[in-house]
């Protein structure tokens, strides 16, 4: 198949198509006014209630986590999940594999992998990203000292977290080349993302390690929050580098699985 043989030009072509995919996604999701307002309502309710909750509970300081840092955590969850929705909505790849619809995508002059991923982008999640970002900024200027390098590192780590979580989901989707229906596993990954709403680094060491490497929800909001407001400069840099390393590992695994799966798909159906 074309994309597996020479991926670079295809990749360039796919990224050229990026603005078009985004426009299409925006048009699709804002076709009805009600849809737009309901998106707004959902995201605002979500942020408001989590902030209200942490404010009402105001848990005591544990491992450097103050009530204000929980606001930052909430902001990062919103930002991260929104980034996942915008750029890497991969919900139906497994179904396409199951139905054999992948051929339509493979025949097109674009990278099949990224083409599939981007076609389903959810541009409306920009609202959630914006709200999350505003919450982070507000909490940061109000309760903490702003340091640009920390801010940049935290955003980078958050982006790495979004990519990693989507890589995990893509791995799961790719498994349908071998195992067919993977709905249960997908739901498991989606549901597991909710764990990120609590500061996971205060959990026992073995649980935290598992949630860092094998099911990397730690990268969604916990590490970016640590980098931004809690960790020492040295630890913040280490966490930033760690996020990047874990992301690279997961991307490598995803691409490896995708290529293997695609070969299998070609062997079976072409």
Partner 1 sequence: MRKYISFFRLELFQMAEFKLDFFLFWLESLARVAVLFLFWMKIWSSPSGEEISTMERPLFMSLLLHCSIIFLPMRSPDKITQMIEIPVITGSISSTLCRPVNPILMNLSRILCQQMRMLILVLVLLFISDLFLAKHFQLPPPHLSKLLNPLFIISLLTGLLIHNLLYLGIGLFSFWIGEVWSILYALTIVASFMSGQLCPLGMLPDLDFYSQLLPFRYFAYSAASIYSGHGHIDEWFKQLIMLVLISIAIALLYKKAIRKFEAAGG
Binding site for partner 1 (CB under 8 A): 34-35, 38-39, 41-42, 45-46, 49, 52-53, 56-62, 183-185, 187-188, 191-192, 194-195, 198-200, 202-204, 207
CA distance linking residue 235 with residue 10, whole number of Å: 39
In angstroms, give the least distance from the CB of 233 to partner 1: 25
**Of 48 and 149, which has the nearer Cβ to partner 1?**
48
**Of 5 and 61, which has the nearer Cβ to partner 1?**
61
CA distance linking residue 173 with residue 95, whole number of Å: 9
CA distances in angstroms from 218 to 21, 139, 162, 255, listed in the order given: 30, 21, 11, 22
**Of 203 and 237, which has the nearer Cβ to partner 1?**
203
Q: Point out which residues pair with 65 in neighbouring strands.
A: 62
In angstroms, give the least distance from the CB of 53 to partner 1: 6
In angstroms, give the least distance from the CB of 42 to partner 1: 5
In angstroms, give the least distance from the CB of 268 to partner 1: 22
**Of 116 and 200, which has the nearer Cβ to partner 1?**
200
Residue 65 has phi, psi (to 5 degrees) of: -85, 110
CA distance linking residue 34 with residue 183, whole number of Å: 29
In angstroms, give the least distance from the CB of 48 to partner 1: 9
**Of 187 and 260, which has the nearer Cβ to partner 1?**
187
Torsion of CA 141, 143, 148, 150, to 10 degrees: -150
What SS3 class is residue 52? helix
**243 membership: H or E segment, kind and range:** helix 233-269
């Amino acid at each position: 198949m074309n994309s597996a043989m020479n991926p670079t030009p295809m990749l360039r072509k796919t990224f050229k198509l990026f603005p078009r995919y985004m426009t299409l996604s925006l048009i699709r999701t804002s076709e009805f006014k009600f849809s737009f307002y309901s998106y707004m309502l959902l995201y605002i309710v979500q942020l408001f209630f989590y902030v209200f909750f942490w404010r009402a509970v105001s848990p005591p300081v544990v491992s450097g986590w103050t009530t204000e840092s929980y606001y930052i955590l909430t902001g990062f969850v919103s930002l991260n999940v929104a980034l996942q929705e915008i750029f890497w909505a991969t919900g139906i790849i497994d179904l396409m594999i199951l139905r054999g619809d992948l051929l339509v995508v493979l025949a097109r002059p674009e990278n099949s992998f990224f083409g599939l991923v981007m076609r389903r982008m959810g541009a409306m999640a920009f609202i959630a990203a914006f709200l999350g970002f505003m919450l982070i900024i507000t909490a940061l200027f109000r309760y903490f000292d702003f340091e640009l390098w920390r801010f940049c590192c935290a955003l980078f780590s958050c982006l790495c977290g979004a990519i990693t979580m989507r890589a995990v989901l893509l791995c799961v989707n790719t498994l349908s080349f071998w195992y067919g229906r993977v709905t249960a596993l997908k739901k498991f990954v989606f549901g597991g993302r909710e764990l990120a709403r609590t500061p996971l680094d205060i959990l026992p060491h073995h649980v935290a390690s598992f949630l860092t490497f094998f099911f990397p929800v730690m990268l969604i909001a916990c590490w970016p929050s640590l980098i931004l407001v809690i960790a020492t400069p040295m630890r913040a840099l280490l966490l930033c580098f760690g996020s990047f390393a874990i992301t690279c590992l997961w991307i490598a695994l995803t691409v490896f699985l995708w290529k293997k799966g695609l070969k299998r798909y070609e062997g079976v159906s072409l």
